[in-house]
Structure 1
């Protein structure tokens, strides 16, 4: 197999904040709110962003952000998002952020458990399929970031399908990185700890002791922010991470590194 070499005739522009030359475009699935919204807004500093989300109108606006409404697991919808991004500027990066947070215990019918695992995994598989296919058709290098979770390595109770799917997403990340690194397509993942979002803040209101518990779980003593996740994703998509491929980057304040203290009471 011939080694990949990047095109030598590229238009030179002033580098953006992460060093990537402009203009470029990105797709962020599940970018309508929460962490996905933070990622979309951060990448809008680099170029045009297409948010692929089930939501209707976003409820917020940015001159460089457009919405494609639909199911990110549907290949036709994902292709429509890629085409919309390409129409604005060459597609350079894809972020698989969309996820489903529903539980089914292993005592449930296997079809229920497998349905939820598949529903989550399909979002990343379809996104990788679409991004890789699009970049190959255009003969262009690019980058994919899959959003995973600390639960891929350390599940919490009541999240079996989600944790199982995220473990598969991390394996998918490595497999796509190996298969398509020679094409100049880098694939990495971020494994998130707890991050403050509207959903998290609602949970906080209903569980007054959660701040103390989260501080104990995260060695930095707090949960993360969407902006901190977005910076890590922007780095992995940027030319500054040009030799990073097949990595799973913990963005969790040290949560995955910290084991339970056997002497703690």
Structure 2
């Protein structure tokens, strides 16, 4: 049995990753800021452990790492925690924008740093998966802090892979398209049936596969990158986006 740490593991994509890893027989420590999102982990018991706290803080990440190692050797770390808040250069001050960028980037940097140190101390290597977005390459208007942070996370992924590959540490990322999560459902909840139909049609158009993704599909991709099956994969950014990143507007479309 192995152990893993998943930040932002209480809901959405993070929860799906935790559930996927538990299904494979491994132990998982889920880090989550919102206590309400941890109740299902606490109820699950067994090889699922909840840590409430901010994934940006090194002491929180260290606690998660130690708890994981108490159960089984630490084999992987998933940096999923993120903050969603739009801001713009013309309406917000620079300090606010920098704070938003840092909030998203810091959790990934902290998780990578703690994971690498624990992998090196154990001497057995390990795998890190950072959760990015199609917005790292093709930003959506109004999401400048989020898109900037995700682009930086992809740079972090590649640099860490180069630095720590000789120690057997693999670092990869998944770049997500639109995924059906609680947040997406809340986005739809305030709209009438006609408006929901329009949004669904727009999402289908944006993704060449004609739909948004499922959290479980992301979890499967993350589990692959954490597994020995991906033992020669590092420094990669794997699109899990239904083709959204390669979908460009057709100039012949009406």
TM-score, normalised relative to structure 2: 0.94
**Which residues in structure 2 correspond to 1:9-24 (within 5 Å)?**
23-24=1-2
Q: Distance in 1 between matches of 2:84 and 2:109?
A: 17
What corresponds to 2:186 in structure 1?
202
Q: Which among 111, 123, 133 is matched to residue 149 of structure 1? A: 133
1:174 maps to 2:158: yes
What corresponds to 2:230 in structure 1?
241
Q: Distance in 2 between matches of 1:179 and 1:235?
A: 22
Q: Distance in 2 between matches of 1:159 and 1:59?
A: 31
* Offset, 1:137: 1.1
Cα pair 1:218 1:253 within 8 Å, conserved:
yes
Q: Distance in 1 between matches of 2:7 and 2:253?
A: 40
CA RMSD of aligned residues (A): 0.9
What corresponds to 2:82 in structure 1?
99
* Offset, 1:64: 2.1
Q: Distance in 1 between matches of 2:47 and 2:70?
A: 13
Question: Does the residue aligned with 2:30 lie in a helix, a strand or coil?
Answer: strand
Question: Does the residue aligned with 2:75 lie in a helix, a strand or coil?
Answer: strand
* Offset, 1:65: 1.1
1:127 maps to 2:107: no
Cα pair 1:26 1:50 within 8 Å, conserved:
yes
Q: Which among 55, 67, 70 is matched to residue 34 of structure 2? A: 55
Q: Distance in 2 between matches of 1:133 and 1:141?
A: 10
Question: Does the residue aligned with 1:42 lie in a helix, a strand or coil?
Answer: helix
Unaligned 5+ runs, structure 2 = none
Question: Does the residue aligned with 1:44 lie in a helix, a strand or coil?
Answer: helix
Q: Distance in 1 between matches of 2:105 and 2:146?
A: 9
Q: Distance in 2 between matches of 1:55 and 1:203?
A: 19
* Offset, 1:264: 1.7
Larger displacement relative to structure 2 (38-47 or 205-214): 205-214
* Offset, 1:204: 2.0
Unaligned 5+ runs, structure 1 = 1-22
Q: Which among 95, 102, 106 is matched to residue 111 of structure 1? A: 95
Question: Does the residue aligned with 2:124 lie in a helix, a strand or coil?
Answer: coil
1:73 maps to 2:70: no
Q: Which among 20, 23, 31 is matched to residue 42 of structure 1? A: 20
* Offset, 1:218: 0.3
1:82 maps to 2:61: no
* Offset, 1:226: 0.5
Task: Flag the structure with higher helix content.
Answer: 2
1:158 maps to 2:136: no
Cα pair 1:204 1:211 within 8 Å, conserved:
no
Q: Distance in 2 between matches of 1:98 and 1:254?
A: 23
Question: Does the residue aligned with 2:224 lie in a helix, a strand or coil?
Answer: helix
What corresponds to 1:18 in structure 2?
none
Q: Deviations over 1:230-261 (max 9, x none)?
A: 00000000000000000000000001111111
Q: Distance in 1 between matches of 2:124 and 2:60?
A: 22
